[in-house]
Structures are given as structure tokens and as C-alpha cells.
Chain A
Amino acid sequence: MDPLALTLIELGAIVFCLGLLARLAERIGMSPIPLYLVGGLGFGAGGLIKFEGIQEFAHLSGEIGVILLLLMLGLEYTAQELVTGMRRSWQGGVLDLVLNFIPGAAVALLLGWGLVGAVVMGGVTYISSSGIAAKVITDLGRIGNRETPVVISILVFEDLAMALYLPILTAILAGVGFLGGLQTVGVSLAVVSVVLVVALRHGHRVSQAVHSENSEIFLLNLLGAALLVAGIASATQVSAAVGAFLLGIAISGATAQNATRILEPLRDLFAAIFFVAFGLNTDPSSIPPVLGFALLLAVVTTATKILTGYWAAKRAGIAIPGRFRAGAALVARGEFSIVIAGLAVASGGVASEIVALATAYVLIMAVLGPLAARFVEPVVKSLRPPPPPAARRQETPAVP
């Protein structure tokens, strides 16, 4: 068969299958990410069906998917919100980082994957899925809850932390030494600070530069700017994804909202291809040997995330059920853990078991997270004695 025809058929089959998987995910009310990963595992090396000739396309599309994921994450927040969120919740954010980075890093060291492996796995277990968390908050009608701002501020902290972590990871994966690493940290700190200041003072100018009433021009401006910034960031070792994230932060106001609306379908497509491409590169037979460790990490990091949320919510004066709800909302790991593992794969310098462990871990956590969020409340309530009837306030005055 003509190679082009074959490629088109393969690509069409994959995208069509993704549609079916997304529909299944919606039907059972879960995140589609684990299903995309499983789909990728099934199509790729050692999977059920082997696809040839689309690797290059899948790889580039996956990269664009990561850029769009991070760009849209940046669009969600304004620089102002990031700065105030940081000021209000840095203690919770630091506790989150310490508690959830250590388990992943420890397992990596235990398995002999060295410092690089530890930094990768620490990042994978640290970062919550803000996509899944946002969906959980909306779906469970918790947007008006008092603990929700606590959850959001921790997610915001994680996203900022990632803007520093990803460049460090990129540098370590590229094999630079300690000094080189320090230099990268310095450069990325400087870049992040400059972008925040520019976004605070001149955000409207950046918005104006890309804005257009015509949606076609607007889309091309946005995508062009994102890829340019990502490329330049990548060339200066700040990591393409972080470049896109910072561009997203600099775009603000109504422009950001329009940009979100216009980019959403593109993000959905390319991010789905990214997850599949990641699965394609993972050999399913490499997962069973690391499954035990993935389960162990799942148990430990579920507990540490709940502890993080519990502590942060307690500081905000939330009662006990709300503290558990805050913790459970943070449990899900998803897109960004895969982004981190994907960077590790792309560099080629890490053990293939890391990818298998990250895949198995995210598969578990993306499913477990929403379940934990849904069932934490009934569980906590059943363990605590019900409040005495007198505690119930009278809403309507008693009839005399």
C-alpha cells in the first residue's frame, strides 16, 4: 500500500479509537487520560497491534500537545492571582512539595536509578493533575465550598513550582554538571521573575499583540507565538513547556478567555495524541515487574496528598470533613506527571523502567484520584459519630 495511505489509515484509526475511549470515559465519569494511555500501550511496541510510520508525526504532535497543555494552564491564571496565591499559601505548597516529592525520589533511589531517576520520579509523584482536580471540584458541586480556595492555591503553587522544576529537569537530563545545573536554575528563576513582572505591568500589551477580533487570525497569532516562545525557551534550556506556560500567564483578561475557548479543541486533540504517543513508546510487558512499586507509591502518595490538604485546610480554619475533602481533591495525578516522564523518555538517558513505573503510577492515580474525592466524605462521616440532634439549627421559627 502507498505509505501515505497507510499512515492516514493508521492515524484515523487511532484518533477514532480515542474518540471511543473518551466517550467511554465520559459514560463512566472518569478522566480519559488513563484510557488514552492504555490505548497507546495497545497500539505501540509490544502491544496488540503494531503501527509503523506514524512515530514521527506522533512525536511532534505530542510535543505540541505538551506546549498547548502548559499554555492553557498559564491562561487560567493571571500574574496577579499567582503572586497573591503564592503569598497566601506558600507554607502549604512547600509541605506539598516535601511530602510528595520524597516518596517518588526514594523509590527511584531504592531501585538504583540514580539522581536523575530520583528527580524524575519525585516530580511524577509531586505534581497533582489540575485538570482532574478542576473537573472533580465542578462535577461534585464543590465550587462554593470553603476548602476549595485552599485546594486551588496549592495547585497554583505546584504550577509555579513546575516553572522552576522543568528547566532543572531539562538541564539534568541533558547531563550538565552541578555548576551547569545551578546556572540553569539561575536563568529560569530570572526568566520567571521577569515574565511575572512584565505580565503584572504590561500584560495588556502582550494580550494586544496577539489579540484579534477575527478568530482565524487570533488562532494563528496564538499558536505562532506559543511555538516561537516554546522554541526559544527550549533553545535557552528553559524548557519549551515552561516558555508556553509563561506566555499563557502574560496573556490576560478577555484575551485569555477567548484564547482558552479557541485553543480548547486543539489542546484536546494534541494532548490526546501526546498521551497515546507516550503509551506507544512504553512496552506493556515492562509494566508488571514495576506494578508492586507503583501500588506502593499510590498508597503512600495518596496518604501524603491527603495530609497536605488536611494541614493546609486546617490552617484556613476548615472543619474536619472539609480538610479531608481538600486532601482527596489533590490525590489525582495525570497530565503533568506524564509530561515529566515524557521529557525523561525524550532525553533517552533514563532507565526504561522509569517510564513503565510512571505509566503504571499515573494509570492508578488518575482513576483513584476522582474516586478518593468522591468517597472521602462518606468514609469520614461513617467513622465519626453523628452530631447530636440539638446541633441542628432551626431554619423556620417553631409555630407557637
Chain B
Amino acid sequence: MNVEETELPGFGVRKDFVTASGRRIGVVELREGETELFVSTWDDPDTCQASIPLTADEAATLGNLLGGQHIAMRLAEDHKEIPGISTRQFSIAADSPFQNQPMGKARIRTRCGASIVAIMREGEVVPSPGPDVILHTGDLLIAVGTQEGLDSAADILRHG
């Protein structure tokens, strides 16, 4: 993917690329730490149909959603051969009993046999997280396991 970077003195840096359907999509990283998400119109790739200001948290969450989907799909592809194994994503809500706690405290593998294979955090992937990794609000956990195991993992993460 060819991402173009353009300096915007006084504003920040624009990073964008052209999608297969012909739209330009990208972000402007503003100096104040905020992000502007934009997408061009279909008839004039120079202009923007929408330009949406995102706070740092919102940008990180959006990054997790986009990246998490991608990882989950790849994992699902990998496990296609093994019947009964699925991939699912869990996000850590603000009221989760495990926010700001080490992941090992949830004892998910011991209690339901599901494995957390990656954590999406602020648009970055933490691969094979160990039990010491501290969970934060907005983290997206990618888990692999049986349907029942994943169901009970979801329950544990929500209610403890």
C-alpha cells in the first residue's frame, strides 16, 4: 500500500492513500495530538466528503476496530481446517472488572480453555500477550477457542 505523507506547516502531517474504489482516504495528524479522519468525494479526489475530528482515544479505538477485524479474519482463515475452533474479539469496557489489572488475573485459559492470542491497543498489536500485560479500557482482545469457551471468556471479562 502506497501511503503518501504530506507536511502541512502550522497544522500537522497528512497521511493518505487511494482505495481500490478510487477514493482517497487518510488522516491528518494535528499538532495538538488530535486526528482528523477524512475521505474524498467520488467525483473530485482533491476534496473531502467528510472530515471528522477524532480525539486520541477515538482514533485508537477506530484503529483497534479496523486492525482487529483484519487479525480476526486472518486467524479464522488459519483455523479453517480445524473444526470447532473460532476466533472472536472482546473489548475491555470502562466497567470491566479487569481494567488496569494484569491479564493473568482473569485466568481465561485455565477457566475456559480459550487463548488470548493478541491485544489491539491504540492501533498497535501486542502479539501473544503474557499474563503480566495490564489491560486498559478500549483494548481489543483477540481470542481463539471453542464456541463455549469463548462464550464463557466473554462472561468472565464482563462480570469477573
What residues of chain A have their CB less than 8 Å away from a CB belonging to chain B? 76-78, 81-82, 84-85, 130, 134, 137, 141-149, 152-153, 155-156, 257, 318-319, 321-322, 325, 377, 387, 391-395
Contact = CB atoms under 8 A, between A and B. Distances in A.
For chain B, the bracket of interface size reads 20 to 34
Interface stretch (B7-15, B67-75, B149-157): B7-15
B45 A141 contact: no
Given A152-B8, A156-B9, A392-B42, A144 B21 contact: no
Given A144-B26, A395-B23, 4 more contacts: A144-B51, A149-B6, A321-B46, A392-B42
Contact of B10 (A77, A318, A391): A77
Contacts of B32: 257
B122 interface: no
B95 interface: no
B31 A146 contact: no
Contacts of B40: 144
Nearest to A144: B38
A145 B48 contact: yes
27 contacts: A76-B10, A77-B10, A81-B9, A85-B9, A134-B11, A137-B11, A141-B38, A141-B48, A142-B51, A143-B11, A143-B28, A143-B36, A143-B48, A144-B38, A144-B48, A144-B51, A145-B48, A146-B45, A149-B14, A152-B9, A152-B11, A318-B46, A321-B44, A321-B47, A322-B46, A387-B43, A393-B22
A394 B23 CA distance: 11
Contacts of B7: 81, 84, 149
Given A85-B9, A149-B7, A144 B14 contact: yes
Contacts of B8: 143, 148-149, 152
A128 to B, nearest CB: 13
Interface in B26-85: 26, 28, 31-32, 36, 38, 40, 42-48, 50-51
Most buried by A among B6, B7, B9, B31: B9
Most buried by B among A81, A144, A257, A394: A144
